[in-house]
Structure 1
Amino acid sequence: MFMAVVGLGVLALHLYLWKRLVRDTTRTARARRIGTVVLGVFALLAVAALVLPRFVGIAAAEWFAWPGYLWLAVFFYLLLLLAVLELPRLALRKWTKPNGETDESRRLFLARAAGVVAGAASASIVGAGTVSALGPPAVKRVAVPIGGLAPGLRGFRIAVVSDIHLGPLMGRAHTERIVRMINETQPDLVAMVGDLADGTVAELGGAAAPLGDLEAPTYFVTGNHEYYSGYQPWITELERLGLNYLHNENTQIVHNATAFTLAGVTDVTGKTFDDGPDMKKALADKAGATVLLAHQPVQVEQAAHLGVDLQLSGHTHGGQLWPFHYVVRAAQPAVSGLSKVDNTWLYVTNGAGTWGPPVRVGAAPDISVVELTPGA
């Protein structure tokens, strides 16, 4: 239902694009008809990419997901740039006020100029963002000082990966590259913090299979998209591949004869599926330093109250498409990187994949290696 509403909104906003890019820039009925048909086809592709995959399946969705999602990104930046260009358009309104053929020519010139500027800029932004999204994730390394960390845990490294988003756009090769890059960092532990796939195990189990080749012990928790894709079958499949599920629970990670508590909670979306997070249960009987896996950064508020030393999260994609960073920041305590809430460190990875358009602007994909160090 939500995606259907979004689809209707996308169609409605295409009317604005039609006014600015077709009606205002054409003189003949034939040119207007051609522009209307082209824009209409793109609008339908965008809505199809948003709404249809869950009804027609991943294999069928591949045919329209690529053009639909890429157009959705271009559409977003066209809207943004044309909205900004409304200001000079209004300022020049008197200059283009119709009182003769010359004034009409000026109006047409300005409309076409705005269309060309917005179109060229949008295509350039989306092109660069596509290269960023589809290229190899950056490997980020960050040291986190943990008060009271046992000496034997100094330098313990956790590879953090999130938001892989297997689906009609990204498949097995995407997973293989991520697994290879993680193994090359030689971490002591791998933490997967949600949103592995946008589809069922039957559709995408083969694409996820390379996760079984992760060399370090790997622990995972659910993200919101697991609940949209059938979370229980995915949990069963990942456990079959040798990954360890932390379902509102914790375990002791032993290293150099010392240990710390690794805990994990389900995503807040799980409440709708009778599988909500229970942080008190997850942190029961914790001992020593405590690292928590929680998909959404917003869960850090309770974690800080319960004395967690470090929370590892994803979900935000780092904003994915600027300026969505500001929208995400309104809903989450952090968008990307390392920050602190009270005495609890929060690290948010940008994630290794994308949701929707395979485009990242101002938020390159990453795999993060978090190194524990002693702190005050």
Structure 2
Amino acid sequence: MADTDAPTTAAASAPPRATRRRVVFGLVLFAITTLLFAAPWAALFAPSAQWPTPVVVVGTAVFAVGYLAFPVLLVRSLGRRHSDRAARVALPLLGVVWIAFAWTLVTHVLRLVLAVAGVENPFRARLVAVLLAVVVVGLAAYGHHVAMRVPPVRRADVVLPRLDPAFDGLTIAVLADTHYGPIDRTRWSQGLVAAVNELRADVVVHVGDIADGTVEQRRGQSTPLGGVEAAHRFYVSGNHEYLSNAQAWMDHMDELGWTSLHNRHRVLERGGARLVFAGTDDITAAHSGEHGHAADLDAALAGVRPEDPVVLLAHQPSEIRKAAAAGVDLQLSGHTHGGQIWPFHLLVRLQQPVVQGLSAHGGRTQLWTSRGAGFWGPPFRVFAPNEISLLTLRSR
């Protein structure tokens, strides 16, 4: 009897997998939060600066409040609660503290240069601290302005050697990563649509990450996309759609008059010439649990003639390897945000082959990676401006 009960008792006493994940997540969040807040605090209020005691006490209190509140607010905003109110505090705080952390590392170089030059403390430490504070405030203010503005137009000519001259000069407006979220950007969305319509593009595409949240949560912000004016409007899902019911977003875009290229293609014709626009689900779709969703390039290109030039919509640039192997002429992607907040682009580059702009892959395939129109999380863009891409296709 004792032998029979032992495994049951052991299983009951073992922590569930979900509990272990929560513990690991909590430890990681604690470590990252401590690092992000401790480094700037040490640079601003280093003992070598010999700041008056009230300055150190007030500054430390401000950091302590942010340090204690940040993980709680972040969990409430990104966890099961999905609290927009918490997100409107946590995400800007994350952006500011990331800027402060990154530029703290940069100021260590200045600190070393000043030390070699013979500049003594406390002047050296105070100079570095003041410069750091000015840089953080300045970059946060400018970065917020850039993130919240209607994006400027970035123009580029793309030569496709297999393109029939009948399509020479065809224009494609590329939208990506609008990320409608906790901050109500309905007016921004209306301005975005107005800017796109001024371009009078032949084709407008949205290559994913429409919003953070469900259709019901972000309907007001996303509905202006129905006002985009073009002969053809194509859309593919991004990874963020698969956090909040991608099929509902596809249905919503269909209702707004967009064609969802859900592992399928459409053919444009001019005087007997053909140009194919194909699209695939985001690569995260296969593990999302949504029935019938998975990136399937073969299905998207099924029935395409070998001589047909193909423009492929795929949210993540990492899909370019498959596109090149399939002989795609041009892939349009987003996802990277150009790094969004410097120097985050260095981490993006570890996962994606390209961060932004036009690049060649193999003998035929080219990739256009948009920096995106919106932002994810922190409402800041530092040295990674948002954009509406306007591509003009050129034949040989």
Do residues 113 (structure 1) and 127 (structure 2) align?
A: yes
Match of 1:18 among 41, 57, 65: 41
**Structure 1 partner of 2:172:** 158
Separation in structure 2 between the aligned mates of residue 89 and residue 5 of structure 1, nearest angstrom: 32
Match of 1:77 among 99, 121, 128: 99
Match of 2:386 among 342, 360, 365: 365
Quick check: 1:42–1:68 contact (8 Å CA) kept in 2? Answer: no
**Structure 2 partner of 1:279:** 297
3-state SS in 2 of match to 1:52? helix
Quick check: 1:10–1:43 contact (8 Å CA) kept in 2? Answer: no
TM-fit CA distance, 1:72: 2.6
Separation in structure 1 between the aligned mates of residue 196 and residue 163 of structure 2, nearest angstrom: 25
Do residues 60 (structure 1) and 85 (structure 2) align?
A: yes
For residue 43 of structure 1, what is the amino acid of its counterpart?
Y
User: Sequence identity, in percent?
Assistant: 36
**Structure 1 partner of 2:275:** 260
3-state SS in 1 of match to 2:172? strand
Gaps of 5+ in 1: 97-105
Q: Deviations over 1:203-225 (max 9, x none)?
A: 11121111111121211111111
Equivalent positions of 1:110-189 (< 5 A) are 110-189=124-203
Separation in structure 1 between the aligned mates of residue 384 and residue 27 of structure 2, nearest angstrom: 27
For residue 282 of structure 2, what is the amino acid of its counterpart?
D
For residue 191 of structure 1, what is the amino acid of its counterpart?
V
TM-fit CA distance, 1:156: 1.3
Separation in structure 1 between the aligned mates of residue 110 and residue 153 of structure 2, nearest angstrom: 42
3-state SS in 1 of match to 2:393? strand
Quick check: 1:139–1:366 contact (8 Å CA) kept in 2? Answer: yes
Separation in structure 1 between the aligned mates of residue 77 and residue 137 of structure 2, nearest angstrom: 25
TM-fit CA distance, 1:148: 2.4
For residue 52 of structure 1, what is the amino acid of its counterpart?
R
Q: TM-score, normalised by structure 2?
A: 0.83
TM-fit CA distance, 1:6: 6.3
Quick check: 1:163–1:196 contact (8 Å CA) kept in 2? Answer: yes
Do residues 232 (structure 1) and 257 (structure 2) align?
A: no
3-state SS in 2 of match to 1:41? helix
**Structure 1 partner of 2:65:** 41
Number of residues of Structure 1 aligned to a counterpart in Structure 2 = 364
Separation in structure 2 between the aligned mates of residue 225 and residue 5 of structure 1, nearest angstrom: 25
TM-fit CA distance, 1:92: 7.4
Match of 1:341 among 336, 361, 385: 361
Separation in structure 2 between the aligned mates of residue 59 and residue 21 of structure 1, nearest angstrom: 31
Quick check: 1:7–1:51 contact (8 Å CA) kept in 2? Answer: no
Quick check: 2:331–2:368 contact (8 Å CA) kept in 1? Answer: yes
3-state SS in 1 of match to 2:160? strand
TM-fit CA distance, 1:144: 1.2
Match of 1:296 among 294, 316, 326: 316
Separation in structure 2 between the aligned mates of residue 326 and residue 317 of structure 1, nearest angstrom: 12
**Structure 2 partner of 1:103:** none
Separation in structure 2 between the aligned mates of residue 319 and residue 167 of structure 1, nearest angstrom: 19
TM-fit CA distance, 1:16: 2.8
Do residues 209 (structure 1) and 223 (structure 2) align?
A: yes
Quick check: 2:341–2:381 contact (8 Å CA) kept in 1? Answer: yes
TM-fit CA distance, 1:282: 1.2
TM-fit CA distance, 1:94: 11
Separation in structure 1 between the aligned mates of residue 273 and residue 26 of structure 2, nearest angstrom: 52
TM-fit CA distance, 1:170: 4.6
Separation in structure 2 between the aligned mates of residue 202 and residue 332 of structure 1, nearest angstrom: 31
3-state SS in 2 of match to 1:147? coil
Separation in structure 1 between the aligned mates of residue 25 and residue 268 of structure 2, nearest angstrom: 41
Q: TM-score, normalised by structure 1?
A: 0.87
Separation in structure 1 between the aligned mates of residue 28 and residue 186 of structure 2, nearest angstrom: 29
Match of 1:306 among 303, 326, 330: 326
TM-fit CA distance, 1:326: 2.6
Separation in structure 2 between the aligned mates of residue 69 and residue 59 of structure 1, nearest angstrom: 10
Quick check: 2:149–2:188 contact (8 Å CA) kept in 1? Answer: no
Separation in structure 2 between the aligned mates of residue 169 and residue 79 of structure 1, nearest angstrom: 24
For residue 362 of structure 1, what is the amino acid of its counterpart?
F
- Structure 1 143/5 Cα, relative in aligned 2: closer, same or farther at 3 Å? farther
Separation in structure 1 between the aligned mates of residue 28 and residue 175 of structure 2, nearest angstrom: 28
Do residues 328 (structure 1) and 372 (structure 2) align?
A: no
Do residues 244 (structure 1) and 259 (structure 2) align?
A: yes
**Structure 1 partner of 2:15:** none
Separation in structure 2 between the aligned mates of residue 37 and residue 57 of structure 1, nearest angstrom: 28
Quick check: 2:39–2:104 contact (8 Å CA) kept in 1? Answer: no
TM-fit CA distance, 1:337: 1.1
RMSD of equivalent CA atoms: 2.7
For residue 70 of structure 1, what is the amino acid of its counterpart?
P
Quick check: 1:171–1:204 contact (8 Å CA) kept in 2? Answer: no
- Structure 1 60/338 Cα, relative in aligned 2: closer, same or farther at 3 Å? same
Quick check: 1:263–1:291 contact (8 Å CA) kept in 2? Answer: yes
TM-fit CA distance, 1:18: 3.1
TM-fit CA distance, 1:12: 1.1
**Structure 1 partner of 2:4:** none
**Structure 2 partner of 1:99:** none
Quick check: 2:311–2:329 contact (8 Å CA) kept in 1? Answer: yes
- Structure 1 6/292 Cα, relative in aligned 2: closer, same or farther at 3 Å? farther
